[in-house]
Amino acid sequence: MAGKTKERWIDCSGAPPMLISQKLSSVWRGTTDPRTGKYRQLDLDKPITCYDHVCAATSAGNGILEFMGSSVLAFYTEDDLHSWDSRRQLVAGGGWMPSDRELRKVEWINPMEWIVRDEKFLLINSAVDVSRGIDEGDLLEVHLEQGHYRVETCRINNHAHSDSCFHHLSLLRPSRNS
């Protein structure tokens, strides 16, 4: 069903949304300078904060960031609101879900491969310092099978909603360990 749905949405307020392993989320510092413990403005020339590194990784599109031995998948988007559609393995932006028909018509671009070694992830705003706690309304739980995924992006403008970004995850090869 296109349009507003019963999906929960998180507000990233312009920051890249990301999928991070639940195991590592509690040490994610967002815009907090790890040296001082204080907020730090975005600095792409000298990345220091977790947020700086995510923004650098997504400056040309979706990006993968190595973080404490695991990989974080960060999404390039200009949308504020994001949700997870588990049936279609889709990160939706813009506050609305496209129909299956709309998704069949799009051209998926910028494919990349992401290796998933965990099963439980959180979709969160990359600017948030999760180590200080996060409200349940500011995260979405995402369950993925371990393995190799193709991640692709599309933009959809259905005239009833804004031009929004969508990111599709396709399992290419399951892990032998799962």
How many structural domains does the chain have? Answer: 1
Partner residues linked to 82 by β-bridges: 10, 93
pLDDT value of position 178: 52
Q: Is residue 1 part of a domain?
A: no
User: Cα dihedral sign for 110, 126, 10, 89?
Assistant: positive
The pLDDT tens digits along the chain (178 residues) read 444 447 899 999 999 999 999 999 999 999 999 999 999 999 999 999 999 999 999 988 999 999 999 999 999 998 999 999 999 999 999 999 999 999 999 999 999 999 999 999 999 999 999 999 998 889 999 999 999 999 999 999 877 777 899 999 999 999 886 5
Q: Is residue 2 part of a domain?
A: no
pLDDT value of position 48: 97
Q: Is residue 16 part of a domain?
A: yes
Question: d(Cα 146, Cα 9) in Å, to the nearest integer?
Answer: 25
CA angle 79, 81, 86 (to 5 degrees): 110
Nearest to 159 by CA among 70, 96, 80, 88: 96
Question: d(Cα 48, Cα 43) in Å, to the nearest integer?
Answer: 8
Q: Is residue 87 part of a domain?
A: yes
3-state SS, one letter per residue, for the chain: CCECCCCCCEECCCCCEEEEEHHHHCCCCCCECCCCCCECCCCCCCCCCHHHHHHHHCCCCCEEEEECCEEEEECCCCCCEEEEECCCCEEEECCCECCHHHHHHCCCEEEEEEEECCCEEEEEECCCCHHHCCCHHHEEEEECCCEEEEEEEEEECCCCCCCEEEEEEEEEEECCCC
Q: Is residue 5 part of a domain?
A: no
| Structural domain boundaries, residue 149 | 11-174
Q: Is residue 35 part of a domain?
A: yes
pLDDT value of position 176: 80
Q: Is residue 75 part of a domain?
A: yes
Q: Is residue 18 part of a domain?
A: yes
CA angle 95, 131, 62 (to 5 degrees): 45
